[in-house]
Amino acid sequence: MTEAYEDLFFGPADREIRHLVREFVEKEIVPKRRLIDEDKEHKLVGEILQGLAKLGLFRMGWPEEYGGLRGLSGVTSAIIGEELARGDPGIKTALSCTSWAFRPAIKARNKAVLEYFAPTFCGEEAKLACFAMTEPGGPHGGGGCDVENISSLHGRNIRTVARLDGNEWVINGQKMWASNAGVADAYCITCTTDPDLGEEGIALIYVPASAEGLSFGKFEEKAGMHGVRNCVIYLDDVRVPKEFRAAGPGKDAELLRDQIIAARIGSASTAVGIARAAFEEVLRFTGERMVAGRPIREHSICAGILADMAIGIETARYYYLAVAYMHSHPERYGPQVSDFMLSRASIAKVYATEVAIMVTNKAMELMGAYGYSREYPVEKYWRDSKAVQLWLGGAQLARLDVCRAYYEHEL
């Protein structure tokens, strides 16, 4: 059955792409969900990512002249994200953060970066990239999620510094919690040329994994999201060509703002995928499990809980698709980096992540001890869902970004 949102937001190829990804998830990820959490060496993760590379997903978004397949609209990207997250949100994050890392260079049409990295990332093998923002917090402020708080701090609290030495950038600093850190072949580092310059000092600079002075800490031990790696990134006098800066003064700040907006839309699609997976599992369970002579879902109190789950999932999906559509049509809805768009993307993330947390919690309640058992996947999605709420500055910074778009207008 065709859903109304398909007619509203889908382009000609979106149904085909969704079908392709959905089939892959059903065959290659859903049966292996539990194994992914136990895959300490990421061998299985690598095999799954290689399968996604064969589908061409790693090349999507890259310009065709560099070996890419085609342009990737916000709606298309979100659809792919929801389907992959329904299987495993960590796998989805590893893929989407690779595309996300090169988004600034692609939007800036940085020939030097694209020509250098395209042979690696538009080939037949799955290769990962990392976009690094968050920094260690300090006793005197700065660091942490201050980087993501671009609307208030304008880059003044960024501690990773890049200075120009002849024709090379020399980068020093630390990053943490970046997805694909320690396993990526390329890094896009958010840094500053001078904190006092504010947004004019913000620089997005690309660093090959082979660069001297680039090193990593141990992989983080997390409650969930085991399909994607995170660790501390150390940059000690890392040198890269001057041309590896994404754009330039002022322009990189705009690209960073675009990164945050796009990632919050993508996070909403991830959360909806998680919620869908948990809802499908509890729907099946409550249809088979009998209580007082009837299936659990035939009891009105339980049916009401299932209804709340469905309401949350459907409304979260419609909203994130609407925002993705608006973001892809700036000619109608204004600049992609406006306060309006940041607000709408933040609404999508805040709402969808809270829906995912609610759905996984309620699913576990309806399934009782079975929901808490690793024999069923609900507890996995329960653990995975919280991470999506926490990244990109967390739920409260996102709420602040929601409000800022309204402050100059009557509520």
Instruction: Examine residue 411 and state whether it is found in any structural domain, yes or no.
Output: no
Spatial distance between the Cα atoms of 121 and 257, rounded to a whole number of angstroms: 24
Non-local (6+) Cβ contacts of 379 within 8 A are 364, 371, 372, 373
CATH code at 305? 1.20.140.10
Evaluate whether residue 181 is within a structural domain: yes
pLDDT (tens digit, 0 to 9) for every residue of the chain, 411 residues total? 567 788 889 888 888 999 999 999 999 999 999 999 999 999 999 999 999 999 999 999 899 999 998 667 889 999 999 999 999 999 999 999 999 999 999 999 999 999 999 999 999 999 999 999 999 976 555 555 778 888 887 888 999 999 999 999 999 999 999 999 999 999 999 999 999 999 999 999 999 999 999 999 999 999 999 999 999 999 999 999 999 999 999 999 999 999 999 999 999 999 999 999 999 999 999 999 888 989 999 999 999 999 999 999 999 999 999 999 999 999 999 999 999 999 999 999 999 999 999 999 999 999 999 999 999 999 999 999 999 999 998 899 999 999 988 886 544
Model confidence, pTM: 0.95
Residues 367 and 262 in one domain: yes
For residues 196 and 306, membership in a common domain is answered with no
Q: What is the domain-level CATH number for residue 14?
A: 1.10.540.10
Is 410 among the domain residues? no
- CA–CA gap between residue 400 and residue 27 (Å, rounded): 41
- C-alpha–C-alpha distance, residues 280 and 313, integer Å: 11
pLDDT at 411: 43
DSSP notation for 290-302: EETTEEGGGSHHH
Q: Is 118 in the same domain as 45?
A: yes
In a domain, 46, yes or no: yes
Question: Of 191, 225, 248, which one is at a domain's C-terminal end?
Answer: 248
d(CA 194, CA 121): 31
Whether residue 192 is found in the same domain as residue 90? no
What residues form DSSP beta bridges with 173?
235
Partner residues linked to 351 by β-bridges: none
Q: Considering just the CA atoms, what is the radius of gyration of the chain in Å?
A: 21
Is residue 193 a part of any domain in this protein? yes
Domain stops at, among 73, 102, 127:
127
| Residues 174 and 271 occupy one common structural domain | no
Q: What is the CATH number of the domain that holds 184?
A: 2.40.110.10
Specify if 21 maps to a domain: yes
Domain of residue 15 covers: 4-127
Classify strands 129-132 and 186-192 as parallel, antiparallel or unpaired. parallel
Query: For residue 100, is it within any domain?
Result: yes
Q: Which amino acid is at 314?
A: E
Instruction: Based on the fold, state whether residues 140 and 98 are members of the same structural domain.
Output: no
Asked if residue 256 and residue 241 are part of one domain, the reply reads no
**In this structure, are 220 and 330 located in the same domain?**
no
Taking CA atoms, 9 is separated from 60, 78, 110, 146, in Å, by: 19, 11, 30, 34
What's the burial of 168, exposed, middle or buried (CB within 10 Å: 0-12/13-18/19+)? middle
Shared domain check, 391 and 269: yes
The residues, any chain, with a CB within 8 Å of residue 126's CB and separated by 6 or more, are: 46, 49, 50, 52, 53, 58
Last residue of a domain, one of 229, 248, 267: 248
Give the strand pairing for 233-241 and 214-216: antiparallel
391-405 as b/e: b if 16+ CB within 10 A: bbbeeebbeebbebb
Residue 332 has a CB neighbour count (10 Å cut-off) of: 8
Instruction: Examine the domain organization and report whether 195 and 289 are in the same domain.
Output: no
Query: Do 272 and 313 meet the contact criterion of CB atoms below 8 Å apart?
Result: yes
Helix, strand, coil share (%) of the chain residues, nearest 5: 60, 15, 30
- The set of residues, in sequence order, having a beta carbon less than 8 Å from that of 127 and lying 6+ positions away, is 58, 98, 120, 121, 185, 186
* 222: helix, strand or coil: coil
- Is residue 409 included in any domain, yes or no? no
The pLDDT of residue 148 is 84
Q: Does residue 221 share a domain with residue 123?
A: no
**Are both 189 and 151 inside the same structural domain?**
yes
pLDDT digits 0-9 by tens, 346-388? 999 999 999 999 999 999 999 999 999 999 999 999 999 999 9
Region at 292 (left for phi over 0; alpha for psi -120 to 50; beta for the rest): left
> Structurally, how many domains does the chain consist of?
3
- In single-letter form, the type of residue at position 264 comes to R
